[in-house]
Every structure is written in structure tokens, then in C-alpha cells.
């Protein structure tokens, strides 16, 4: 595919990272105003925030904290550091932890898998402490691990002091950060993500329901977690899929269990009604070939470092235009992953997104005769261009 053909096709296939506010007045109704302290609606594929209010405000997350506890546990399982069937001895510290409980007994042994279910479905504080101690040795050490993971994920308004979400002045997060965490959970480990859709968990003769009411009301919802303390109010992180599009909705600080479900439903309904998302090219797909001087080959394949995904108000594709440019006089050696050009996406005359084009393969330096011949060609090329 040559550059001109690519540019024409890209006009229809580019990701829009522009705030929906730019379109709201002309094309779509304003987003719903929720009875919540903060909220965010994010597209799971692109990571674009579609609706937000106080999205970066630092607030107590209550049991939404357990999303990080569970995320780290599944990460440790995938790394082979712990096994799902490993027995975990319940400490007195874990057994005495107050709040919502899985009702594990001090001195008993519970598998990692059962504890994970107890954390996600039953919101067990005792299970969260037991698993954190098994992974890191203590709650404090696990909190350090949580905060390192916060940094890795780019959660800039989050700091954890414990694995449960029990109140602490230095324990906080934001609606935007919780959406980032939910997106990581969804994309990185689909097998364990299935736990979040389970409506109840039966353990040790006790059956407890998942507190996410939307699992019963909306068949497209398949997660994630609720939270509540007097300080935090009623919070929820939810996700749903309709017609191949997945959205993540986060609400902080509603006034009841029923309200957090209703306010979340408003966000999801608005997002699915007025936005669309599609991935047209995956990272690493060849989009064009660029000329290379003084190399073992005279061309290099160009592509994108990340998926070409777009999230935008429905019907806005026709307003976008894009172009691709290559860096002038690419000269070997070129390493795989080197930036060799750029794609710019415009709405009217405004650049709304740009993305680097990278080399999909390495190009080694050519032999002495190839380098000499290309040097001569470059000399005359410079004279006439």
C-alpha cells in the first residue's frame, strides 16, 4: 500500500481522542448529571473518557480498593509466584478484621482461589487481609506493593494504606483512576475477570450475593465491584458490553445501594446510545513502506505502536481527515520500533490526535559500496530537492 492510498483510507479509520464536549451542542444531548460526588464513563478499548465529573478528585474508595487487591493477586498467579490451589493459613489479624466478611476462621486453611472469590464476590475484608499477608507477608508490605502498581498503571490520584478500603486519611483514589484499574483487569486477565460476573458465592455453608445490582438488572453488565463506608458513600465500578463495545462506568459517593446502580445505569445507557468504538488496525500491522538509504534493503515497513482504535459520537467519522508523513531521508541502521513518521488526525483545521509510526523491522547498515552509492545519490537528491 502506498502512502497516498493509506492516507485516503485513514480518513475513515482514525481514532478520535477529542472530548465529546466539542460535539455536544451540535450533535448530541448533554450527558446526564448524576447524584454522585464524582463519576467517569470510559471506553474500555481506547481508554477515552466520554463523560466525567470530578473525575480526578481524591475520594475514599471504600471496597473499590479490593479491585487492586484482586488485580495484584491474579498478577502473582500469572507470574507463577502463587498458585490458585495454594493453601493460605488464616491469621488472627485477618480473622479479626471488621466490616464485610467471608467468615474465614483463624488457623484454618483456605485456597487462594476461594479467597479471591471471597474478595471479589463477597467483598470480604478478612479474605483481603489473608491473601495480602500470603502474598507480601503483612498488610503494610502489601500496601507498598499496591502503590508500586498504582505508579505502574499511571493512577496519579491514588494512594492505598490497606488491602480492604477501611477508612484512613491517607487512603484515597479517584473515579478516573478506578476506571484505569478496571480497564487493566478486563484486558490483562479475561479468565479471572469472569469471577466479577458471578452473582453469588457459597463457602463454608454461607451463601452471599454479589452487591452489584446491575448483574441482575442488565444482562450486558459483567462486573466489577461495589463499595460502601459512611465516609465514602455508595460507590461502584461497572462494565458492560453491547454490540462488541465495552464501556466502564465509575460512580463515587451516591446515597444508597439502589442509587449507585441507577446512576451507573444512566451513564452506560448514555454511552452506548451516543458513542461508538471500533478497532481497525492492530499494533504491528503494516500500513506503508518508507524508503531507506544506506541499508541492506531499500525499504522499511511502517506501522503503529498501539491499536488503531476510535471512540467518537455516532456519525462523526465523515468529519475527520488524516495524513501520514515519513521522516525525511531515513538512513540505516534502523532498529525495530524506531519512530520513522507520524499520523495526524484533523477535525476541520484542528489536529485532534497524532500517533507515531514505527519501524516494524530492523534495517541493518548496508555494505561499503551500497553506502557509497547512496551517498552520491543523496548528494544529487539534496541539490534538486
Better pLDDT: 94 or 322: 94
368: confidence class by pLDDT, cuts 50, 70, 90: confident
pTM for the model stands at 0.84
Residues of the chain above pLDDT 90, percent: 64
Over range 84-111, report the average pLDDT.
Answer: 96
Say which range, 34-38, 289-293, 358-362, has the weakest mean pLDDT. Answer: 289-293
CA distances for 111 relative to 35, 87, 88, 104, 121, angstroms: 40, 4, 6, 11, 15
Q: Across residues 15-33, what is the average pLDDT?
A: 57
**pLDDT value at position 385?**
62
Among candidate residues 42, 315, 33, the one with its CA nearest the CA of residue 178 = 42
Mean pLDDT (whole number) for 207-218: 95
The answer to whether residue 14 scores a pLDDT higher than 50 is no
CB neighbour list of residue 122: distance below 8 Å, 6 or more residues apart: 100, 101, 102, 201, 203, 208
- As a whole number of angstroms, the distance between CA 1 and CA 261 comes to 49
Question: What is the pLDDT, as a whole number, of residue 6?
Answer: 43
Read off the pLDDT band of 159 (50, 70, 90): very high
Nearest to 157 by CA among 245, 268, 57: 57
Mean pLDDT, residues 138-158 taken together: 97
Q: How confident is the model at residue 384 (pLDDT cuts 50, 70, 90)?
A: low
* pLDDT score at 13: 42
Mean pLDDT for the chain overall: 88
Higher pLDDT, 136 or 285: 136
Residue 366 has pLDDT above 60, yes or no: yes
Residue 11 reports pLDDT greater than 60: no
Residue 152: strand, helix, or coil? helix
User: Residue 341 CB: number of other CB atoms within 10 A?
Assistant: 20
CATH of domain 36-254: 3.40.710.10
Please tell me which residue, 354 or 39, carries the higher pLDDT value.
39
Q: Work out the average pLDDT over 27-52.
A: 93
Q: What is the dihedral of CA 77, 82, 88, 93, to 10 degrees?
A: -80
CATH class (in words) of the domain with range 3-17+281-384: mainly beta
Which tops the pLDDT comparison, 289 or 130? 130
Is the pLDDT at 1 greater than 50? The verdict is no
Q: What is the pLDDT of residue 22?
A: 44
Q: What is the distance in angstroms between the CA of the first residue and the CA of the last residue of the chain?
A: 24
Give the least confident one: 47-51, 61-65, 334-338.
334-338
Active site residues: 63, 66, 123
pLDDT at 199 over 90: yes
What's the pLDDT at 293?
67
Q: Where are the domains of the chain?
A: 3-17+281-384, 36-254
User: To the nearest whole percent, how much of the chain has pLDDT over 70?
Assistant: 88
One DSSP character per residue, 33-66 reads PPSSSEEEEEETTT--EEEEESTT--B--GGGGH
Amino acid at each position: 500500500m502506498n502512502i497516498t492510498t493509506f492516507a485516503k483510507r485513514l480518513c475513515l479509520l482514525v481514532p478520535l481522542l477529542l472530548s465529546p464536549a466539542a460535539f455536544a451542542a451540535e450533535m448530541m444531548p448533554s450527558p446526564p448529571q448524576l447524584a454522585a460526588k464524582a463519576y467517569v464513563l470510559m471506553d474500555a478499548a481506547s481508554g477515552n473518557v466520554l463523560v466525567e465529573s470530578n473525575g480526578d478528585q481524591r475520594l475514599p474508595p471504600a471496597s473499590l480498593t479490593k479491585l487492586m487487591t484482586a488485580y495484584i493477586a491474579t498478577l502473582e498467579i500469572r507470574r507463577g509466584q502463587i498458585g490458585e490451589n495454594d493453601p493460605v493459613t488464616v491469621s488472627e489479624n485477618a480473622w479479626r478484621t471488621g466490616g464485610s466478611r467471608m467468615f474465614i476462621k483463624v488457623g484454618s486453611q483456605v485456597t487462594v482461589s476461594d479467597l479471591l472469590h471471597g474478595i471479589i464476590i463477597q467483598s470480604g475484608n478478612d479474605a483481603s487481609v489473608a491473601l495480602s499477608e500470603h502474598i507480601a507477608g503483612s498488610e503494610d508490605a502489601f500496601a507498598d506493593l499496591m502503590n508500586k502498581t498504582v505508579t505502574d498503571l499511571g493512577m496519579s490520584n491514588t494512594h492505598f494504606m490497606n488491602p480492604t478500603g477501611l477508612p484512613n486519611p491517607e487512603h484515597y483514589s479517584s473515579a478516573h483512576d478506578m476506571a484505569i484499574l478496571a480497564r487493566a483487569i478486563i484486558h490483562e486477565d479475561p479468565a479471572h475477570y469472569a469471577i466479577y460476573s458471578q452473582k453469588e458465592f457459597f463457602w463454608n455453608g454461607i451463601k452471599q450475593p454479589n452487591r452489584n445490582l446491575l448483574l441482575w438488572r442488565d444482562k450486558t453488565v459483567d462486573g466489577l465491584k461495589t463499595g460502601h463506608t459512611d465516609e465514602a458513600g455508595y460507590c461502584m465500578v461497572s462494565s458492560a458490553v453491547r454490540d462488541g463495545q465495552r464501556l466502564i462506568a465509575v460512580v463515587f459517593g451516591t446515597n444508597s445501594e439502589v442509587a449507585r446502580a441507577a446512576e451507573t445505569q444512566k451513564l452506560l445507557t448514555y454511552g452506548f446510545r451516543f458513542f461508538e468504538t471500533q478497532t481497525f488496525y492492530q499494533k504491528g500491522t503494516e500500513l506503508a513502506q518508507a524508503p531507506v538509504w544506506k541499508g541492506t534493503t531499500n525499504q522499511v515497513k511502517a506501522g503503529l505502536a498501539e491499536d488503531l482504535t476510535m471512540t467518537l459520537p455516532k456519525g462523526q467519522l465523515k468529519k475527520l481527515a488524516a495524513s501520514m508523513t515519513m521522516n525525511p531521508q531515513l538512513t540505516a541502521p534502523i532498529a525495530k520500533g524506531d519512530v520513522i513518521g507520524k499520523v495526524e488526525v484533523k477535525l476541520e483545521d484542528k489536529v485532534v490526535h497524532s500517533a507515531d509510526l514505527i519501524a516494524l523491522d530492523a534495517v541493518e547498515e548496508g555494505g561499503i559500496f551500497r553506502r557509497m552509492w547512496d551517498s552520491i545519490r543523496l548528494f544529487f537528491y539534496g541539490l534538486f530537492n
